[in-house]
Amino acid sequence: MNALQDPEFGTITLRRSKLARHVRLKLDTRGGISISLPMRTPLLIAKQLLNESRQHLRRMLGDIQANQRTYTNGDQIGKSHILRFEAGGEQYGHDIIDNLLIISHPLNPHTQKLQVALQKAILAALRLQAKAYLSRRLQQFAELYDFSYSKLRFSSASTRWGSCSSQKTISLNIWLMELPFELIDYVLIHELCHTKEMNHSPRFWHLVEDFCPDYKFHRKQLKQFRPQS
């Protein structure tokens, strides 16, 4: 996997695959653009598809940005980082210093490029928080309630807060750090219960209730959130 730099849209992810039969362009829910193409397809073909799709991409990106949270100086990111924008640099980037998440950008930033830099920075901060907090909290519940799991992984997928495999590998979404603490706890207990019941049967929900009596209320609350900005 490599990337293509575009003056308008910034970094375009390129994915070459032996299984790909056509060149396809994809826009994810956070505004990231990727192009998949067969192994031997010239880069020129990907550039042509991008140019042909510009008007469509502008319209779709506008829709995404209209529905995205607007961030300003001083906003809290997750549980422990404060956002700060610093203008005047030549490039877009970010740095994490103690509890500050610093976004650097030119004086007159390009909206889409700034959005890409912002998303990368937020993901980096949330991943740090998730590794520090969720790892410890999950282990606390496992020891307290006599659960065991084989591995813990982190993701930033846009559809699930967590999952548990048949090998007892628990995957947690780093966007959990944007949720209230009681909902984080519910998700962790939910996934730990899957290490004993790999289903959503009545027996599974009884197990969840043993360790989280208010699970029905938390489950309803959780539907008000989605794992992305």
CA distances from 58 to 18, 33, 38, 147, 172 (A): 30, 11, 26, 48, 32
Is the pLDDT assigned to residue 129 strictly greater than 90? yes
User: Could you tell me the pLDDT band of residue 59, with boundaries at 50, 70 and 90?
Assistant: confident
C-alpha angle with apex 110: 51 to 43, nearest 5 degrees? 30
DSSP secondary structure of 205-217? HHHHHHH-TTHHH
**Does CATH place domain 128-222 in 3.40.50.300?**
no
Is the pLDDT assigned to residue 228 strictly greater than 80? no
C-alpha angle with apex 108: 103 to 111, nearest 5 degrees? 70
Report the alpha-carbon distance of residue 45 to residue 48 in Å, rounded: 5
User: Could you tell me the pLDDT band of residue 30, with boundaries at 50, 70 and 90?
Assistant: low
- Domain ranges in the chain? 2-67, 76-125, 128-222
Structural contact between residues 194 and 204, judged by C-beta atoms closer than 8 angstroms:
yes
Is the pLDDT assigned to residue 2 strictly greater than 60? yes
Convert the pLDDT of each residue in 94-104 to its tens digit.
999 999 999 99
Other CB atoms within a 10 A radius of the CB of residue 188 amount to 25
pLDDT computed for residue 88 by the predictor: 84
Is the pLDDT assigned to residue 110 strictly greater than 90? no
Q: Who contacts 7 (Cβ-Cβ below 8 Å, separation ≥6)? A: none
pLDDT computed for residue 23 by the predictor: 93
Mean pLDDT of 41-68: 86
Convert the pLDDT of each residue in 139-185 to its tens digit.
999 999 999 999 999 998 767 899 999 999 999 999 999 999 999 99
Mean pLDDT of 79-97: 91
Report the alpha-carbon distance of residue 174 to residue 170 in Å, rounded: 13
What is the overall mean pLDDT for the chain? 91
